[in-house]
Structures are given as structure tokens and as C-alpha cells.
A and B are shown apart, each in its own frame.
Chain A
């Protein structure tokens, strides 16, 4: 997996200032097997082998290279990389039973086998494009459906091991960059408002609403009683409102605290440019300030193709070690991270130049 391949997060859609990525996950179980927790080791092995055998068919239909592997046999580091690129879930990551994975070359489509549910189809893309990834997920779902019999009940729909997924088995989510809303404390109020719509928002790297890098995941809590389209269209509508709120808040914030924010942005750039040790969460927050500065027109990266969210992905611990291929156990990860950021951070044009 160490070939130079363009991963999904390296692709730049029209850069969205708030929506970092969109993701869809479909939970499915096969009839004739017990669910995750009650599944015997033999059945787990059989399940993984059978579903993994779908790889060639999926590859043929989708017309892009796919890989398949036994996740449980991978090294912890490889598993971490897959986890950090959102290709596998926490359940799959930590399971001791045989677990499998079918994954597209760019990591954008993954089929997790024997996590909390037998099958979880996950599709992801940068920016906002729920419809596209939903179509892909549905296509893969139909392919698997044509080969296997899903556990399905007329009343409860797709039966899942957790009642939080039952019905459609669909969890659609947006990764949102919300520096203004979360700094101003408005996110808490929005969070409780959202629950009325059956939606939830949570920090990605931290607990609760505060999250380093101001990255938050907005997703549907409700999975039953609505059609798939109703779920993701509802999410889309609410998200677009949050996006507008966030942008408005950023400008208002800047108007009120001009020098404060400018200082923060430049200071962050300075630290990132010259620091010799960078902790992951600190680096996220500093990068977030720079992105905010870019949005507000305080600074402009000289390299237009520079994508801060891609850099945020790449400085995650396992990803970083993978990219640097430094296996020197005595070099601190923070030193490697600082070096990597220094190398990738573009020169900036300030507002007064040009």
C-alpha cells in the first residue's frame, strides 16, 4: 500500500470553506449469521472470505482498482493508517476476530467486513457531494445484495446489531470546519437545536463540542422512519444553514476583533513555520487559524493549490510515519511533524503586498 496513489483527500473539489468532506455509511447484515458479538470465530472467518470474494466483481463494475485484505492480520500501524484515512471504523480496528476489507485504490470506497455489523459500506469525498457518494454506496449495496441475503424485517427494515443503525442502516455525515461557531460558544445551542431534527454534531478529535482544529462531524442520529433520501436531504438543508451561520459569524467576529484575529493568524503562521516540535492537536489548531486567515483575506498562500485540510489529514500520527517512512524509533513524532509542516507550508502574501 505504499505506492504513490492519489488518495481521496488529496483531490481538491471546488474548495469549500466550511464543508471539508462528506461521508456515507451503510450498515448491513447477512441472514444466516449471528451479529458481531455473537458470531463464532469460524463463522467470522467464513463471512470474511465470502464477502471478500466480491472484490473482483466490484472492481469490474466500478472500473477502478480495488484491494482486499484481512484487517485482523494487518500490523497495528497499517490499521492506524486506514483508520486515520476514515477507511475503517473503530469497531473494525479493535476487533480480534477475523475482519476484512475491500477498498478502492484511493480509499474513497471501503467495505468493512465483520465490524459491529457484518458489512459496512463507506464512501467518502472531499467537499459537499452527498448525492454522488450515496449513489456509489447504493450501487455497491445492490451488488452485495444480489449475491447475499440481507437480514431484513418488514417493520424494522435492515436489521443491525445496534438499534442506533436499524432501519435504513444509513449514517450520512459532513465534516465541518467551524472555527467561529465553536469559539463563540454558539455550537452548544446549535447542538441541542439539531437533536430536534434527529441530527447530532460532535467534535472529531476531542470530546464534546470543543474540538482541536475546529473540526466537527454532523450526522443523522435517526435511521428509521425516514427514507434514505429524506435523511440525507434533511442533513443537506440543515448543513447549508450551518454553513451560512458560520460564514456570517466569521465576518462578524473579525469586524469586532480585527487586531486580535490578525495577531492570532500571523502568530500561528510563525509557530508553524519555525517550530521544531509540533503536537498533533496543537498543529491542528494552528493550521485552523491559518485557514481562517485565508478565508478572511488576512493572508493568502502563494501556492494556490495548497489545501490545509489535506495537511491536517497527513499530519495524523500513523499517516505521518507512513509518509516519512522514518522508522527511527528515537525520533519523536512531534519533531517529524514539525519538519513535515515546515516543508509543506506555503509562503504567504499578506494583505499589504500587491
Chain B
């Protein structure tokens, strides 16, 4: 028999898995089996290759999840998304959100993470024909505006303010880079000046936000 993974070497290990009474048999060569155990398999993306080393931990984590699910919300000392039940720790672990409402449930972390993963944090691209808004702060703003939105004047003015805030962000990122360089070059006078400029800019941004918010309500 030839190894199921590499289809090259002779299979020496026969692996039988029984899930819900369904039996599947797979055979591996020494090499592939070793790779699987160390989790270094070049083919680890294939679902068909059971990660033997991780089977036990898989079972354990399933069990832990059940335990958490069975607990009353008050027993848990962490934020849980009311819509999908995604827990804070699970979000942090997997780095995947559970539903649209998670964006507001975990808004603090989302913003932080987004800045780490992406330089910008404000969408300026395509808009669906019938957007339903999930972020809490904006939900009220959209109410009563009816179905069609975004393609009229409203969108124009909005994208302008977006563009402006984007420019501000880019500029401040630039300044931060300059600040870093100045510190590295030990030019502290310059660094101090840049720092002040950044501060000034951040204040300006805050003011902008307030105005923006007022406009909407």
C-alpha cells in the first residue's frame, strides 16, 4: 500500500478513525506520520490528514467550550457578544469575529487590532445597495433615512470628510515615522517639535470628530 499523504512511499502505519460510528481508514509512511506529529507537515492544510498530536487537545478544547457554554453569563468574568455568544477570550485566541454585532461588542479591541493589522480604520470603498448598519454609534444616525442611501449628495459630503480624516491620519503616521527617525538620530530638538505637531494634530482630529457627530444627530 502507498502512503495516502505523499502517494510515494510505502505505507507502514494504518490509522483507523471512528467518528459517530463511521469508520475511515488511512495509511501513512513513517515520514509523513512523523511530520504530522510534529505539526510540520507540508501538507498540513489538507483536512484529510489527521493531526494525531492535536487530536487530544482538540477534544479537550471542545470540552472546555462546552463548559463555557453551559455556564450562566454571570459566572463568566468576560465580555460575551449578546448576538452570537462569542467570548472575549475566544476572539483574542482565534482573531476571528463571530457576527456583525461583535464589531460593537468588542469595539475597543477591534479598533486596536485593526490599527495593528491595517493602517486605516475607516471604510471608503463600495457600499451595498441596502446597507444595514451594525456598529452601535452609527445605528441611530442611519435610522429613518430610508432604504436608499449613499449615492446622493450625502455620500459626496461624507466621502469628503472621510478623505480629510484619512489625510490627517496619513500625515500623522508620517510624522510618527519622522519622530522615530529623529529619536534614532538623537536629534531631540527636532523630535520635540514633531511631538508637539502630532499632539496638535490629534487635538484637531478630536474636534473634527465632535463636529462630525453633531452633524449626524
Q: Which of B7, B123, B137, B141 lies at the interface centre, i.e. has the most chain A CB atoms within 10 A of its CB?
A: B123
- C-alpha spacing A164/B137, complex, angstroms: 22
Interface centre among B2, B113, B118 (most CB of A within 10 A): B118
B19 CB, nearest partner CB in chain A, Å: 10
Chain A residues in 8 Å Cβ range of B96: 35-37, 116, 161-162
User: Which of B31-39, B54-62, B81-89, B199-207 lies on the face that meets chain A?
Assistant: B81-89
Which residues in A have their C-beta under 8 angstroms from that of B1? 329
B121 at the binding interface (Cβ < 8 Å): yes
1/0 per residue, CB under 8 A from B, across A84-103: the answer is 00000010011110000000
CB distance from B85 to the nearest CB of A (A): 7
Considering the complex, give the chain B residue whose CB is closest to the CB of A334. B8
A241 is an interface residue with CB less than 8 A from chain B: no
A141-164 vs B, Cβ < 8 Å mask (1 yes, 0 no): 110011001111111111111111
For residue A65, CB closer than 8 A to chain B, the reply is no
Nearest chain B CB to A242 CB, angstrom units: 21
Kindly identify which residue among A33, A34, A90, A166 contacts B114, using a CB–CB cutoff of 8 Å: A166
The reply on A31 being an interface residue by CB < 8 A is yes
Closest B residue to A144 by beta carbon equals: B128
The residues of A with any CB-CB pair to B shorter than 8 Å are 29, 31, 33-38, 76, 80, 90, 93-96, 116, 138, 141-142, 145-146, 149-164, 166-168, 170, 198, 221-228, 231, 279, 317, 329-330, 332-334
B77 within 8 A of A: no
Selected contact of B122 from candidates A138, A146, A221, A225, CB within 8 Å:
A225
Beta-carbon contacts under 8 Å, B16-50 to A = 45-48
Interface centre among A38, A90, A96, A160 (most CB of B within 10 A): A38
Is B181 close to A, CB under 8 A? no
Q: What are 19 pairs between A and B in contact, CB < 8 Å? A: A37-B86, A37-B94, A38-B85, A80-B46, A116-B96, A154-B123, A156-B135, A158-B128, A159-B134, A163-B95, A163-B97, A163-B110, A164-B117, A167-B118, A225-B120, A225-B122, A225-B124, A226-B124, A317-B7
Tell whether, in the assembled complex, residue B47 and residue A94 are in contact, meaning their CB atoms are under 8 Å apart: yes
B106–chain A nearest beta-carbon distance, Å = 10
| A275–B192 CA distance with the chains assembled, in angstroms | 67
Are A35 and B128 neighbours in the complex by a CB distance under 8 Å? no
Partner pick for B100 among A36, A153, A168, A227, CB 8 A cutoff: A153
Q: Are A332 and B95 in contact (CB under 8 A)?
A: no
B131: contacting residue among A154, A160, A333, CB under 8 A:
A154
Indicate whether A94 sits within 8 Å of B7 (C-beta atoms), given known contacts A31-B134, A38-B84: no
- Is B144 an interface residue when CB atoms closer than 8 A count as contact? no
Nearest A residue to B132 via CB reads A31
Are B135 and A93 neighbours in the complex by a CB distance under 8 Å?
A: no
Measured between beta carbons, the chain B residues less than 8 angstroms from A166 are 114, 118, 123
Residue of A nearest to B159 (CB): A227
**Taking each of B83, B85, B97, B110, which has the highest tally of chain A beta carbons within 10 Å of its own beta carbon?**
B97
Q: How far is the CA of A225 from the CA of B169 in the complex (A)?
A: 10
Q: Are A29 and B100 closer than 8 Å at their CB atoms?
A: yes
Are A154 and B118 neighbours in the complex by a CB distance under 8 Å?
Answer: no
